[in-house]
Amino acid sequence: MTESILPLLGVALCATALLQLLLWSGQSFTQWSHTKKQFEISREALRKQIEAVTVDRTEAIDEFGKWNGYREFVVDELVRETKLSATVYLKPGDRKSIVSFRPGQHMTFKFDIPGQSKPLVRCYSLSAGPGDDRYRITVKTMRKSNPEAAPGRVSTFVNQSLMVGDRVQVKAPTGHFFLDEGSTAPAVLLAGGIGITPMVSMIDHIVRTKSERKVILVYGSRNSEDHTFKNYLKDVSERIPNIFVINVYSEPLAQDQEGVDFHVPGLITIELLKQLLPNNHCQFYLCGPSPFMEAMNTSLIEWQVPDSRIFSEAFGPASVKRTKTTSDDDAATPSAQVQFTSMQESICWDHQCESLLELAEANGIVIDSGCRAGSCGTCQTPLLRGQVKYPSGMQVDCDPGQCFTCIAQPDGDVELDV
């Protein structure tokens, strides 16, 4: 057993050393990958650049004249990206102009799907930078953890049934996950699976604006069949000297060639990032499956990256879970009563619930919801009495007199109109 493991360890160590050498020396990059003809940044030069810039994030979000509620859009073009993912181009049905957005933001969609009793709401990140006369999203057919379970209803519909000319209801671009254009610090984009979509929007914006900001994308996918935007990212990384792409395959196919199709086998880890970066003084952007997001968020914090420099997209299953602890706020409202207008009696707040939505569902009360992360607004509910609180540090764009039940908790006795 030991004799069989030693050669594998040797190969791994050699690969790691080669990776670090090629990334941070001035040697030709083409022997390791066609991603760059020459890696132009030395470790010391990048260190000086990182220390010379500020990393404060500007929280102000311009509204760009966005519309209220839903607006009808028409499917203008469909492009197959992989076996399981498709790109959808959308133009406004009223033929009026679209509003701009920040690279990385998302849109909320309402789909009328045959066989469903009501429209289904989903959030999808824009997969192109601002500047076009149409929007672009890329949707992957979502598979359940149980292989026998049916795939996602909306993602399957988009990939298999949506056609050019179809009409969908869309809310204006929004979201607090976007490229911080107020900073010149290197942006490290960490993407897993279809979490690549907002990162492509950011990269596309860097390319369009001819920004010289350093961008390092570390993209994890299973293999070449699951590698979304493979050709686009390869082309951009070869043409634009300040954009670097590192592809990580967890389950390479027999025909996948290391150094051609991908650069690193396995998973994205903090050890890999430490090899790629001279220090942690960068801005880190995370988007991908929940286990990936949680692992990377924890690892970055352990690497002493300030929380102010870690940004993550939060769409339900893609959100970073928070550790449930008893807080001072909990202690201050030990017997909060929650009144739903559809029930005669109030309900005592259960601190085991993460949100008012969970409390409602636990008591048989149906509240429409979509993202379950305070992004889409589907669960917005009139707050008739009392106040609610949201997770610390979270910005909420909620209408006056309303609350997002998917992330809200009672701050004392409350009454909801549902």
Q: Give how many domains the chain has, as a whole number.
A: 3
pLDDT of residue 100: 95
Q: Which residue among 266, 283, 318 closes a domain?
A: 318
Residues 296 and 210 in one domain: yes
DSSP conformational letter for 316: G
Residues 203 and 306 in one domain: yes
Residue 350 belongs to domain with CATH number: 3.10.20.30
Question: Measuring CA to CA, which residue among 414, 390, 14, 401 is closest to residue 176?
Answer: 390
- Write out the residue range of the structural domain in which residue 365 sits: 328-416
Residues 46 and 157 in one domain: no
Residues 53 and 189 in one domain: yes
Torsion of CA 254, 260, 266, 271, to 10 degrees: 160
Residues 121 and 101 in one domain: yes
Which residues have a Cβ under 8 Å from the Cβ of 54 and sit 6 or more positions away?
Answer: 183, 184, 185
Q: Within its chain, how far is the Cα of 107 from the centroid?
A: 12
Q: Hey, which residues does 124 pair with through a beta bridge?
A: 107
Q: Is residue 177 part of a domain?
A: no
Q: Which residue among 170, 198, 217 closes a domain?
A: 170
Residues 53 and 191 in one domain: yes
Q: Is residue 65 part of a domain?
A: no
pLDDT of residue 212: 95
Q: Are residues 333 and 349 in contact, defined by beta-carbon separation less than 8 angstroms?
A: yes
Q: Are residues 266 and 250 in contact, defined by beta-carbon separation less than 8 angstroms?
A: yes
Q: Is residue 62 part of a domain?
A: no
- pLDDT tens, residue by residue, 305-330: 999 999 998 655 434 444 443 444 44
Q: Is residue 385 part of a domain?
A: yes
**Alpha carbon distance 283, 292 (integer Å):** 18
Q: Is residue 179 part of a domain?
A: no
Residues 147 and 205 in one domain: no
Both structure tokens of 391 = 């997770």
Q: Are residues 136 and 90 in contact, defined by beta-carbon separation less than 8 angstroms?
A: yes
**Alpha carbon distance 386, 355 (integer Å):** 15
Residues 99 and 191 in one domain: no
**Alpha carbon distance 403, 418 (integer Å):** 12
Both structure tokens of 243 = 């954009």
Residues 194 and 297 in one domain: yes
pLDDT of residue 322: 44
Q: Is residue 176 part of a domain?
A: no
HSE-CB for 31 with a 13 A CA cutoff = 8
The phi-psi region of residue 266 (left if phi > 0; otherwise alpha if psi is between -120 and 50; otherwise beta) is left
Structure-token match 């050498």, residue found:
21
DSSP conformational letter for 348: E
**Alpha carbon distance 57, 59 (integer Å):** 6
Q: Within its chain, how far is the Cα of 228 from the centroid?
A: 14
Mean pLDDT of 348-373: 87
Q: Which residue among 284, 318, 352 closes a domain?
A: 318
Identify the band that residue 8 occupies on the pLDDT scale cut at 50, 70 and 90. very low
Q: Say whether pTM exceeds 0.85.
A: no
**Alpha carbon distance 337, 412 (integer Å):** 7
Residue 106 belongs to domain with CATH number: 2.40.30.10
- pLDDT tens, residue by residue, 39-85: 444 455 556 655 555 444 433 444 556 888 899 999 999 999 999 99
Residues 197 and 311 in one domain: yes
- pLDDT tens, residue by residue, 171-229: 999 888 999 999 999 999 999 999 999 999 999 999 999 999 999 999 999 999 999 99
Instruction: Tell me which H or E stretch contains 213.
Output: none
Regarding beta strands 135-140 and 85-92, do their DSSP bridges make them parallel or antiparallel, or are they unpaired?
Answer: antiparallel
Q: Are residues 380 and 304 in contact, defined by beta-carbon separation less than 8 angstroms?
A: no
What does pLDDT average to over the chain?
A: 82
Residues 141 and 258 in one domain: no
- pLDDT tens, residue by residue, 277-302: 989 999 999 999 888 998 999 999 99
pLDDT > 90 fraction of the chain, expressed in percent and rounded: 60
Q: Is residue 175 part of a domain?
A: no
Residue 22 belongs to domain with CATH number: 3.40.50.80
Residues 314 and 267 in one domain: yes
